[in-house]
Amino acid sequence: MVEKFEKALLWVIETVCLALMVALALSVIYSTTMRYFGLSPSWYDEIASVLLAWLTYFGATYALFLRQHMSFGGIVTALPKRAAVALALFSELLVISFFAIVAWYGTAVLAVAKWDSLLSLRWMTLDIVQSIIPISAVLMIIGTVLTLPRALANAAAGIDMEHADIEHAIAEAERESADRSRKDAPK
């Protein structure tokens, strides 16, 4: 049940990232085309900045769900099993605490930001623009909690996912190279 929820939420985040990327690309293409004809849209700079910021926050959330963010796995795996699990748990609690603070104060900012708007699009208030902060913070808390069992299991097993991914990529590249060598060898 938890895995299905995690996969569904990850799919939603992927979809939002893709939609933001397409919207950003289309706005850049439109603006560039219109600028060529001397009809540069006034809203382009602000909308592109907002789309890029939202894409960055959702991209970071996606990376957190996949545990592809910066970590110090080598330190954890170098420790004895109990200490590794304790340090991993402590670091996860720090991450959750940090994002809880970001969500709390991000929500507080929205109350102030609702009275201001973008310069070129007066109907878009800054609380809409800044809402990505608490939204992504809550999603990152959820992602941390959902992936916590895997992180603790890896710490207990002494697995550094960064090194495991690198070793997997090297093994896959070597396998592909061997396959190509066999196909290219004279018969």
Q: d(Cα 135, Cα 148) in Å, to the nearest integer?
A: 20
**Domain extents for the chain?**
1-184
Q: Where are the beta strands (DSSP E) in the chain?
A: none
Q: Where are the beta strands (DSSP E) in 63-178?
A: none
The one-letter code for the residue type at 77 is T
145-180, pLDDT tens digit by residue?
Answer: 999 998 888 888 877 766 666 777 787 888 888 888
Q: d(Cα 150, Cα 156) in Å, to the nearest integer?
A: 10
Q: d(Cα 125, Cα 119) in Å, to the nearest integer?
A: 10
For the record, the structure tokens of 84 come out as 């590794």
For residue 117, the SS3 value is strand
Q: d(Cα 158, Cα 78) in Å, to the nearest integer?
A: 8
Given a cut of 70, whether residue 73 has pLDDT beyond it is: no
120-130, pLDDT tens digit by residue?
Answer: 777 778 888 88
Q: Give me the count of residues in the chain.
A: 187
Of the candidates 8, 26, 13, which has an alpha carbon nearest to the alpha carbon of residue 57? 13
Q: d(Cα 3, Cα 93) in Å, to the nearest integer?
A: 21
pTM (predicted TM-score): 0.81
Average pLDDT, the chain: 87
